[in-house]
Amino acid sequence: MQKCLGRQTVLSQIYRYEQEGIIGLEDKSRSGAPAKADGNYIEQLRKAVSTDPHDLGYCFSVWSVDRLQKHLIRQTGIELAPNYMNELMKRHGIVHRRPKHDLSDRQQPEEVDEKKQLLDFLKKTQ
């Protein structure tokens, strides 16, 4: 399958050939923009995910990608799109999960033991 080239592309190739010869037609490395999410950014992301948001002064207890993104803008000044942030987390194995909440701190230990014994008894009698 042949690739169609635009007029400007053909003229550029001819110009490069005339200036540099056959070597001028080789693909050259392109610099591109430097990555925004460098090692420091990834480290800050890991640190945030492993920290309870309450400890950082937030009024929520669970991280979301949007919340992490906004937190890291404050920390690093680097703004990444939430979709890219999610991709970045996957690439680096960074996982944020919802915590498992239970009511153990509100339970009376004596009552818990009593109910467990009752449950064990009922299981045996059936």
- Quote the DSSP letter at residue 29: -
Q: Supply the pLDDT for residue 67.
A: 92
What does the pLDDT look like over 46-62, one tens digit per residue?
999 999 998 999 998 88
What does the pLDDT look like over 84-98, one tens digit per residue?
988 999 999 998 776
Q: Which two tokens stand for residue 29?
A: 């490395």
pTM comes to: 0.54
Q: Supply the pLDDT for residue 2.
A: 63
Q: Supply the pLDDT for residue 101.
A: 63
Q: Supply the pLDDT for residue 30.
A: 73
Dihedral of alpha carbons 115, 120, 121, 125, sign? positive
Residues of the chain under the 70 pLDDT cut: 1-2, 98-102, 105
Q: Which two tokens stand for residue 64?
A: 């979301």
Domain boundaries, the chain: 39-91
Do the beta carbons of residue 78 and residue 72 sit within 8 Å? Answer: yes
